[in-house]
């Protein structure tokens, strides 16, 4: 992903890293496994990229529009579902 147009018209770019508009959404029942996996990776002094991959693979990518605060959730990893604050 690089640029996506929000329903308000604002173009969200997630090319910077870290991206202040990019969030991660994780189910509570996956959180413990993620933390244990990251701790295990850290103890083994393994590649930090594996920890990032583990967290990314167990969470959904979310973009928050800075103009309208809509959340764009990528449940299938490719297509955004838009959520607006009520
Ligand atoms: Zn917007």
What are the sequence ranges of the domains in the chain?
3-83
Cα 1 to averaged position of ligand 1 atoms, centre (Å):
17
pLDDT score of 56: 84
Tokens representing 52 are: 């990032």
Residues 37-67 as b/e (b if ≥16 CB within 10 A, e otherwise) read bbeebeeeeeeeeebeebbeeebbbbbbbee
Q: How far is the CA of 14 from the centre of ligand 1 (A)?
A: 14
Q: Express each pLDDT in 21-62 by its tens digit.
A: 999 999 999 888 888 888 887 777 667 777 778 888 889 999
Whether residue 1 has pLDDT greater than 70: no
Ligand 1 mean position, distance from CA 44 (Å): 42
Can you give the pTM of this predicted structure? 0.78
Q: Which residues surround ligand 1, an ion (CB under 5 A)?
A: 6, 8, 10, 65, 67-68, 70
Encode pLDDT of 61-83 as tens digits.
999 999 999 999 999 888 999 99
């Amino acid at each position: 992903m690089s640029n996506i147009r929000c329903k308000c018209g604002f173009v969200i770019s997630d090319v910077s890293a870290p991206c202040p508009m990019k969030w991660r959404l994780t189910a509570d029942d996956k959180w413990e496994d993620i933390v244990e996996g990251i701790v295990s990776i850290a103890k083994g002094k393994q590649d930090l990229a594996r920890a990032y991959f583990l967290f990314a693979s167990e969470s959904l990518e979310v973009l928050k529009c800075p103009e309208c605060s809509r959340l764009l959730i990528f449940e299938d990893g490719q297509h955004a579902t838009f959520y607006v604050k009520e």
